[in-house]
Amino acid sequence: MVQRLLLLSGALLGAVAVKCVPARLALSRAKHPGLTGHARVAKRLAGLVPNHEYDGAAFFRADAPPEVIAAQRESGFARLSASFKQREKTLALTAETRVHLADLQFTSRYRVPYPFSRVVREALPVGAFVASSDGPVLHDLDGNALLDLTGSYGVNLFGHEFYKQTIAEGAAAAGELGPVLGQYHPLLADTVARLAALSGMDEVSFHMSGTEAVMQAVRLAQYHTGRARMVRFAGAYHGWWGDVQPGIGNPVPADRTLTLAEMSERTLAVLARRRDIACVLVNPLQALHPNAPAPADSHLVDSARAAVLDQAAYGEWLRALAETCREAGIVLILDEVFTGFRLAKRGAGEYFGVRPDLVTYGKTLGGGLPIGVLCGRAELMRRFNEQRPVDICFARGTFNAHPYVIAAANAFLRRLDSPEIEALYDGMDERWAERARTLNTSLQDAGLPVRVAALTTIWTVTYTRPSRYNWMLQYYLRNEGLALSWVGTGRIIFSLDYDDARFAEVVARFVRAARTMQEDGWWWNSGESNRDIRRSVMRAALRTRLGRN
């Protein structure tokens, strides 16, 4: 009897294994081999990394340079520091505010790789305040002018002057009503019609941020498919909501999320086979660096950062993905919060030639005010069940469709059809690719180990020779009056009001900054490969962990 039971359970286990093991293997094979593909492992490793800092002399000697090089670096650093510290009013207010401002404490800590962070924060303080903008020029509290390459996290597509107008126009139009919520300003009707036409979708819903629009897209996909899992791709950002951010940055596991490799046949095979996947989320910005995280300078420990746009290949991938999703009953969500209106008037969908089931927008669409929008086919957007009245998919938000935001978004959408804006879109891709080539040629001609890669107005800086100090470039750029966001050289975002003259200024300043950095010895060639550098960084962390420093 016992024997028979054992045999039976063995057979059952065998049957389960025959069914599950290949599926599990297929899933493993569809993950990107790097840490971006293994969110849990990355998080576990992150928990083990101890703090270690390069202090004093060691700060300039991480790659064991000759003394003459270290001395060049030290004097260059002292010169930069003196120049940075001249911004007295801006820095005083920044220092005073930081004490109580958690946001600023976080961003200023992660501008550069952590072993260098404290010394850099003290010697090269970056002011957090600006008083005014004039086209792409920002003025700090000390009257210093900076050319704005931050793009306001992607919001600034048409230039600050454009958004000053859309906000003023929106405020004037909504002013009679005031901040009345729960009922709509009449401009909402036209806004909805324009969004439906532009996205080619049936219905629209309003939210307060890109993060919330994505949350709602995923929730609706789960509601309509009756499936729980979501697929996102390695490295892709979709806001800071827990389920789209498994691993580092999220204190709890995102158990329903599968992180798979992008541009991978194995991923398509998993999607075609599994029956528990509700939706696939795509951030088309990843076309510039598939499967890699947003290229922040805090990760720039070596020169391995890579970026190359292959528009045709990425478009092909998206179309194959859409086809697979369609066949498997999976909802394809194109997250256009960043790329919407930026890559083309109709966003990445138009640029790469793909049609999703749901599409999210945000950032620039608010005409300078905070917004998130979801557009989709009617059957996916419905939040109730005609046959089961209590079965609903709940989503609300106090400030959704705020009259001022809707009126500013309406001003934005109306301007999209103006001849001036049409002219900006006309030939945009080629114009910005040509500008990237111009900068690259200048850098190459000057013998500098720096290049840029571009997805229209979204640029990332790459480094051609192994080095531990590439992140210093963001400070040399700032010293030449080029403002980058806290992620540094990983993300340069242009607004379309950069004309040829302004762009030539950027090129001149960029090359000057890189040349000064070269002259100050930071790119001295140690002969280390990127791999050597990474290993040595890991060894240093290990030594600290074992208390041998």
- Which H helix or E strand runs over 164? helix 160-175
Distance CA 131, CA 121 (A): 22
Closest approach of ligand PMP to the CB of residue 237, in Å: 5
Distance CA 439, CA 475 (A): 19
How many residues of this chain interact with ligand PMP, rule: CB under 6 A? Answer: 13
From the list 177-185, 320-328, 331-339, 391-399, the region that binds ligand PMP by CB under 6 A is: 331-339
Residue 338 within binding range of ligand PMP, rule CB under 6 A = yes
Closest approach of ligand PMP to the CB of residue 227, in Å: 22
Closest approach of ligand PMP to the CB of residue 238, in Å: 5
Residue 259 pairs with which residues in a beta bridge?
232
Closest approach of ligand PMP to the CB of residue 249, in Å: 13
Please spell the DSSP secondary structure of 362-423, one letter per residue: EGGGGTTS--EEEEE-HHHH--B-SS-TT-B-----TTTT-HHHHHHHHHHHHHHTSHHHHH
Residue 155 within binding range of ligand PMP, rule CB under 6 A = no
Closest approach of ligand PMP to the CB of residue 20, in Å: 34
Closest approach of ligand PMP to the CB of residue 361, in Å: 10
Taking the least distance from each CB to ligand PMP, the nearer of 91 and 406 is 406
From the list 75-83, 207-215, 268-276, 455-463, the region that binds ligand PMP by CB under 6 A is: 207-215
Residue 214 within binding range of ligand PMP, rule CB under 6 A = yes
From the list 30-38, 60-68, 167-175, 204-212, the region that binds ligand PMP by CB under 6 A is: 204-212
Give every CB contact of residue 55 below 8 A, 6+ residues apart in sequence: 119
Taking the least distance from each CB to ligand PMP, the nearer of 354 and 513 is 354
Residue 443 within binding range of ligand PMP, rule CB under 6 A = no
Closest approach of ligand PMP to the CB of residue 510, in Å: 24
Closest approach of ligand PMP to the CB of residue 213, in Å: 7
Closest approach of ligand PMP to the CB of residue 250, in Å: 15
**SS3 annotation, 43-103:** HHHHCCCCCCCCCHHHHHCCCCCCHHHHHHHHHHHHHHHHHHCCCHHHHHHHHHHHCCCHH
Closest approach of ligand PMP to the CB of residue 243, in Å: 13
- Which H helix or E strand runs over 518? helix 500-519
Scan residues 348-407 and list those touching ligand PMP (CB under 6 A): 362
Residue nearest to ligand PMP (CB): 210
Q: What token pair was written down for 532?
A: 């050597």
Scan residues 252-281 and list those touching ligand PMP (CB under 6 A): none
Closest approach of ligand PMP to the CB of residue 155, in Å: 9
Taking the least distance from each CB to ligand PMP, the nearer of 4 and 396 is 396
Residue owning tokens 């001295």 = 524
Using an 8 Å Cβ cutoff, are 396 and 204 in contact?
Answer: no
Taking the least distance from each CB to ligand PMP, the nearer of 332 and 537 is 332
Residue 209 within binding range of ligand PMP, rule CB under 6 A = yes
Distance CA 52, CA 542 (A): 10
Taking the least distance from each CB to ligand PMP, the nearer of 147 and 213 is 213
- Indicate which single residue of 201, 280, 337, 348 sits in contact with ligand PMP (rule: CB under 6 A): 337
Distance CA 544, CA 549 (A): 5
Tell how far CA 422 is from the center of its chain: 26
Scan residues 278-317 and list those touching ligand PMP (CB under 6 A): 283
- Indicate which single residue of 335, 357, 480, 520 sits in contact with ligand PMP (rule: CB under 6 A): 335
Residue 140 within binding range of ligand PMP, rule CB under 6 A = no
Scan residues 164-203 and list those touching ligand PMP (CB under 6 A): none
- Indicate which single residue of 237, 344, 350, 382 sits in contact with ligand PMP (rule: CB under 6 A): 237
Taking the least distance from each CB to ligand PMP, the nearer of 165 and 283 is 283
Q: What share of the chain is helix, strand, coil (3-state, %, to 5)?
A: 50, 10, 40
How far CA 184 is from CA of 180, 196, 404, 406, 546, in Å, comes to: 8, 17, 11, 9, 62
Q: What token pair was written down for 547?
A: 């208390």
- Which H helix or E strand runs over 133? strand 132-134
Give every CB contact of residue 73 below 8 A, 6+ residues apart in sequence: 60, 65, 469, 520, 521, 522
How far CA 423 is from CA of 93, 166, 368, 426, 427, in Å, comes to: 41, 19, 21, 5, 8
The C-alpha angle with vertex 474 and arms to 473 and 478, in degrees rounded to 5, equals 115
Residue 211 within binding range of ligand PMP, rule CB under 6 A = yes
Burial string for 350-362 (b: 16+ CB within 10 Å, else e) reads: ebbebebbbbbbb
From the list 60-68, 210-218, 346-354, 459-467, the region that binds ligand PMP by CB under 6 A is: 210-218
From the list 123-131, 208-216, 384-392, 424-432, the region that binds ligand PMP by CB under 6 A is: 208-216
Taking the least distance from each CB to ligand PMP, the nearer of 90 and 211 is 211
Using an 8 Å Cβ cutoff, are 262 and 233 in contact?
Answer: yes
- Residues at the contact surface with ligand PMP, assessed by CB under 6 A: 153, 209-211, 214, 237-239, 283, 335, 337-338, 362
